[in-house]
Chain A
Amino acid sequence: MERLNLSDGKIKVFKLKTFLILLLFCLLPSLALIFLSYQIKILRVGELLGKYPVIFNNLSDFNIGSIENQIKNLQSSFQKRFTEISKANLEIKKQLLDIYKSNYFLNYFSELCSSIPNKVFLKEMVYDGTRLRIEFYEYGLETKVSTSTVYERLSKVYQNVSVQLVEEKTFFSNTKYFHYVVEGMK
């Protein structure tokens, strides 16, 4: 009964205003989606820029097709620079160690002499770049040189270290002299 209608049948029409409003309503979701995706894109680009500023500073062309090649080139060039720098670093380290090793025995010997109350007479100190030999006498009532300490300190830097008390003789009344020989390899 509710659907009963005896009219000729009117053709339903829209006014232009209504049609335009309806059209806007239909387009609104897609427009919103486009805007949203654009915003997300900007956000992501911003994130990437923040994360990898070096890469973006070195990109010359922002064409999507060429970006990958550019990044590969950049990566290989950075890799090359990295190996160069690490090589140089290693060399400098080696050199520094070399210098340190060539001076260490001098420093240590002078430290040893100043740290004990007995007089020390250096007979011979030879260093040819690889081999090290120190021969000295200590004068005193008893020896103050501890062979184990000397061995420990020198073996940190040199190899095949040997510290020997070659002879011990009474020099005058109860004063004695102790003859030491220290050897090592760089």
Chain B
Amino acid sequence: MGIFKHRILVYNLDQPENHILSGSYFGRNIFVKGYSEQRLLPDPEDIVVMNLPFDIIQTAFIELPAVKNEKDMRRIVELELKSIADINDEINVGYVKSIQNKVLALYVKRSDYLQYKLSKNINFEPDVAYPNIFSELIIVKKLPGYWMYLVLGRMNSGVVVMNGDKIIGIRIIDFALEDINKIVKEETGFGISEIERSDNEDLIEAARKIIDTLSPDIVGLLERELIISINTTEIEKITINQIAGLCLICDLKVLKEAILQLQWSFQKVTEAITILNIPQRLTFADAGLLYRGGVELGKVKSIRW
């Protein structure tokens, strides 16, 4: 697109309709252009970011020797994975540094990856394929101490246990906002995000009532999952008393408020703080993917609409 200005295209394939977000990176800032109505094909020079659902991704904690070179590290992770998990297929590997020389390796079989792309009608190679839970987590400020980050996504949800900015456990929950959205839609005729955007008091009140009746069940489910994930951390055994708090990452304002009001068995349950101001119209996942696209080009200081 240019030498100083680059276009970033975000293909968030979780969304049912054509949901392609475009923005331009210029001087460490990302300027969001908006969602495109039609299917947008990328230019060869564009930075294309695509999300990957967690159901085709597998994770493993691996201990590695201290290697400085990024490329070598990736290769070593791949070899280790192949020997540990006994994989014969070609895999795409990524990793996130964890504590004590360990890394959290994420991998996807190439056949699954290609099939996913094919099913979503993507016939070009994206610059970045980024997993779902991480796309929300990337723009959230990591707090010092043991914190749990509960990501409620549209199709996948997950719990990430972190010590500072190091991941010590990750668990995917069988909970999708889309299910709640469906219930609300059946009752009121509109989805929650549509209701929130409309600013219609009656509709918001109706949606709130439905969610208030559902929220104790949701919290019960989530709490159970949270406790399981605390007890199943692989690399460091921790107890619930060590957890400083729970950070909730959720796009739906009504649901977030309803959940935060309820009584939790955790000491502190808060809303997530983002590392930079994101426009209200962007979801956490879209903003995260856009941020990730910007990181390909350099530092990102702000995202503006």
Q: Which of A1, A2, A7 contacts B127 (CB 8 A)?
A: A7
A2 and B113 alpha carbons, distance in the complex (Å): 21
What are 7 A-B residue pairs whose CB atoms fall within 8 Å in the complex?
A: A1-B167, A4-B95, A4-B130, A4-B131, A6-B94, A7-B50, A8-B125
Instruction: Judge whether B252 is part of the interface by a CB distance below 8 angstroms.
Output: no
CA distance A10 to B127 in the complex (A): 5
Q: Mark B89-117, 1 if CB is under 8 A from A, else 0.
A: 00011111000000000111010010000
CB distance from B73 to the nearest CB of A (A): 10
Within 8 A of B (CB), among A1-45: 1-10, 13-15, 18, 21-22, 25
Find A22's partner among B3, B92, B110 (CB 8 Å cutoff).
B3
Known contacts A13-B44, A18-B2, A21-B3; A4 and B106 CB within 8 A of each other: yes
Considering the chains assembled together, what is the distance between the CA atoms of A1 and B136 in angstroms? 11
Are A1 and B138 in contact, CB atoms less than 8 angstroms apart?
yes
List the B side residues contacting A4 at CB < 8 Å: 94-96, 106, 130-131, 134
| Interface size class, chain A | 10 to 19
* Given A13-B44, A15-B44, A15-B45: A7 and B126 interface contact (C-beta under 8 Å): yes
- Cα(A7)–Cα(B125), bound, Å: 8
Across the interface, do A6 and B106 meet the contact criterion of CB distance under 8 Å? Answer: yes
Docked-complex contact A8 and B110, CB < 8 angstroms: yes
Q: How large is the interface on B (under 10, 10 to 19, 20 to 34, 35 or more residues)?
A: 20 to 34
Taken together as a complex, chains A and B put the C-alpha atoms of A146 and B93 apart, in Å, by 129
Give CA–CA (A13, B124) in the complex, Å: 14
Chain A residues with CB under 8 A of B107 = 6
Q: How many Å lie between the Cα of A10 and that of B117 in the bound state?
A: 14
A22 cross-chain contacts in B, Cβ below 8 A: 3
A1 to B45, CA, bound (A): 24
* Residues 214-261 of B contacting A (Cβ, < 8 Å): none
Could you tell me if A3 and B138 are in contact, using CB atoms closer than 8 angstroms?
no
B131–A6 CB distance below 8 A: yes
Q: How far apart sit A18 and B125, CA to CA, in the bound complex (Å)? A: 21
Q: How far is the CA of A6 from the CA of B130 in the complex (A)?
A: 6
Could you tell me the distance between the alpha carbons of A8 and B109 in the complex, rounded to whole angstroms?
11
A-B contact count (CB 8 A): 61
Q: How far is the CB of B295 from chain A (nearest CB, A)?
A: 5
Complex Cα–Cα for A6 and B289 (A):
13
Q: Inside 8 A of B295's CB, which chain A residues have their CB? A: 2-3
Contact A8 B70 (CB under 8 A): no
Binary per-residue interface labels of chain A (50-80) against chain B in the complex, 1 for a CB within 8 Å, 0 otherwise: 0000000000000000000000000000000
In addition to A6-B106, A7-B129, 15 A-B residue pairs with Cβ atoms within 8 Å of each other are A1-B138, A4-B130, A4-B131, A5-B94, A5-B128, A6-B52, A6-B92, A6-B113, A7-B125, A7-B126, A13-B44, A15-B44, A18-B2, A18-B45, A21-B3
Contact of A6 among B2, B48, B57 (CB under 8 A): B57
A7 to B, closest residue via Cβ:
B129
User: From residue B118, how far is it (CB to closest CB) to chain A in Å?
Assistant: 13
B contact residues around A10 at 8 Å (CB): 48, 125-127
In angstroms, Cα B2 to Cα A25, docked, is: 13
Which 4 A-B pairs have CB atoms at the shortest separation, nearest pair first? A7-B129, A4-B94, A6-B129, A10-B125
Residues of A within 8 A of B137 (CB): 1
- Expressed in whole angstroms, the Cα–Cα distance for A4 and B92 within the complex equals 11
A22 to B45, CA, bound (A): 14
Determine how close the nearest CB of chain B comes to the CB of A166; give it in whole angstroms: 114
User: Does the CB pair B125–A6 fall under 8 Å?
Assistant: no
State whether A1 and B134 are in contact (beta carbons under 8 Å apart), knowing that A7-B127, A8-B92 are contacts in the complex. Answer: yes
- Bound CA span A120–B248, Å: 141
> In chain B between 30 and 61, which residues have their CB closer than 8 angstroms to a CB of chain A?
44-45, 48, 50, 52, 57
Residue in contact with A13 in the complex, picked from B45, B48, B167, B292, CB distance below 8 Å: B45
Give, as a whole number of angstroms, the nearest-CB distance from B136 to chain A: 11
- In the complex, what distance in Å separates the CA atom of A10 from the CA atom of B3? 19
- A3 touches which of B48, B70, B110 (Cβ 8 Å): B70
Closest to B165 in A: A1
CA distance A7 to B165 in the complex (A): 24
- Can you name the residue of chain B whose Cβ is closest to the Cβ of A25? B3
**A18 to B44 Cα, complex, angstroms:** 12
Closest to A21 in B: B3
**Distance in Å: Cβ of A17 to nearest Cβ of chain B:** 9
Across-interface contacts of A15 in B (CB, < 8 A) = 44-45
Contact partner of B113 among A3, A8, A21, A25, CB < 8 A?
A: A8
What is the CA–CA distance of A61 and B107 in the complex, to the nearest angstrom?
Answer: 77
A5 to B113, CA, bound (A): 13
